[in-house]
Amino acid sequence: KLFLIVIVDSLVHWADLEPVPQDDGPNPVVKIAYSEKFSDVYDYFRALLKKDERSDRAFALTAEAIELNAANYTVWHYRRVLLQALQKDLREEMRYITDIIEEQPKNYQVWHHRRMVVEWLNDPSEELEFIADILSQDAKNYHAWQHRQWVIQEYKLWDNELEFVEKLLEEDVRNNSVWNQRHFVISHTTGYSSPAILDREVQYCLNQIRKAPHNESAWNYLKGILQDRGMSSHPGLLEQVLELKETHCSPYLLAFLVDCYEDALENNNQKETLNRALEVCEYLAQEKDTIRKEYWLFLQRSLESRFGPSAASGEPLADGTEPPAGQQELS
């Protein structure tokens, strides 16, 4: 009976339309074998598209087409044309796109569509909660984080985001997306220039590292906020890191140390600093980060070449002696 209803329905509602099949010519490549139902929906979709028909039956068909292939960007575009031409209820569309994204959260087209509808409504009020729900299912969904950053920046919804970040870091301190969001929020609100904020962030990092030492994200954040503000000049940091080295060591801690020493060498080339840096590189290469052995040895050579005794000049001195150690590197 359902079969008959479908036939009658199409005779009644689509009789005027000549379906348009796909035409790949005599030698199709990467051809997808569609069922009759799938082809029917899309053959009619193509017919409507050709006419640029603006009707309710067209709008209804886009939903069918989307259900079969939500990645077809032409269908979504046509649906948006119809939403506007037919003055459709955008609140209802928000409900629709919410359902679709929950089913297919890693699809580019659905998130773009949601963004368009939010823009048309000029109403972001559901977004943070919706995205939080998607993130509760996959806390690293790149699309979700991208949409979240867009909403926050566009509609200036910064107020509670740091709190959201801290909550998620408590759930998983290794979630790199959340650390990124932390940087996003702070850099767009208070910034990192004030010593109070910078110190707060440095201490926050070190505390997280104490709880979970083997966490590249925390170390990347620490280095990230300090690398252009003088890693070796932040008061007491080097000492804290050297302390942590004894009880909470990791390849990331050691790499951070090397970077601290490099920063120090750039400001004041001391033989002792260079030796420490070379030692840490050796330790990384031979014991603590052996997968990157060749890289740490390369870095070692590079530091030696930039700051070592032979770096002072390209040639031996006139009297054949070596230039003194600790000499400033010639640029």
Active site residues: 106
CB 71 within 8 A of CB 109: yes
Q: Which residue has the tokens 């600093």?
A: 273
Query: Binding of other proteins at residue 194 (CB under 8 A)?
Result: no
User: Looking at beta carbons only, is 157 or 297 nearer to other proteins?
Assistant: 297
Residue choice 10, 17, 64, 69 for contact with other proteins (CB under 8 A)? 69
Query: Binding of other proteins at residue 291 (CB under 8 A)?
Result: yes
Residues 16, 286: Cα–Cα separation, whole Å = 76
Residue choice 130, 164, 184, 283 for contact with other proteins (CB under 8 A)? 184
Query: Binding of other proteins at residue 317 (CB under 8 A)?
Result: no
Residue choice 74, 233, 286, 313 for contact with other proteins (CB under 8 A)? 74
Query: Binding of other proteins at residue 14 (CB under 8 A)?
Result: no
Query: Binding of other proteins at residue 35 (CB under 8 A)?
Result: yes
User: Looking at beta carbons only, is 203 or 290 nearer to other proteins?
Assistant: 290
Residue 186's CB is within 10 A of a number of other CB atoms, namely 20
User: Looking at beta carbons only, is 46 or 88 nearer to other proteins?
Assistant: 46
**Type of residue found at 232:** S
Quick check: helix, strand or coil at residue 221?
helix
CB 62 within 8 A of CB 109: no
Query: Binding of other proteins at residue 190 (CB under 8 A)?
Result: no
**Type of residue found at 83:** L
CB 274 within 8 A of CB 265: yes
CA quadruple 318, 322, 328, 331: dihedral positive or negative? positive
Q: What is the DSSP string of 184-196?
A: HHHHHTT-S-SHH
- Smallest separation (angstroms) from other proteins to the CB of 321: 31
Residues between 131 and 170 with contacts to other proteins, criterion CB under 8 A: 140, 142, 145-146, 149, 153
Query: Binding of other proteins at residue 215 (CB under 8 A)?
Result: yes
Query: Binding of other proteins at residue 248 (CB under 8 A)?
Result: no
- Smallest separation (angstroms) from other proteins to the CB of 58: 12
Residues 85, 83: Cα–Cα separation, whole Å = 6
Question: Binders of other proteins: how many residues, by CB under 8 A?
Answer: 67
Q: Which residue has the tokens 């603590």?
A: 288
Residues between 98 and 117 with contacts to other proteins, criterion CB under 8 A: 108, 111-112
| Six-digit token string for 206 | 């070190």
Say if residue 225 is exposed, middle or buried (CB neighbours under 10 Å; 0-12, 13-18, 19+): buried
User: What residues make contact with other proteins under the rule CB under 8 A?
Assistant: 20-35, 38, 42, 46-47, 49-50, 52, 68-74, 77-78, 108, 111-112, 140, 142, 145-146, 149, 153, 174-177, 180, 183-184, 187-188, 215-217, 220-221, 223-225, 227, 255, 291-295, 297-298
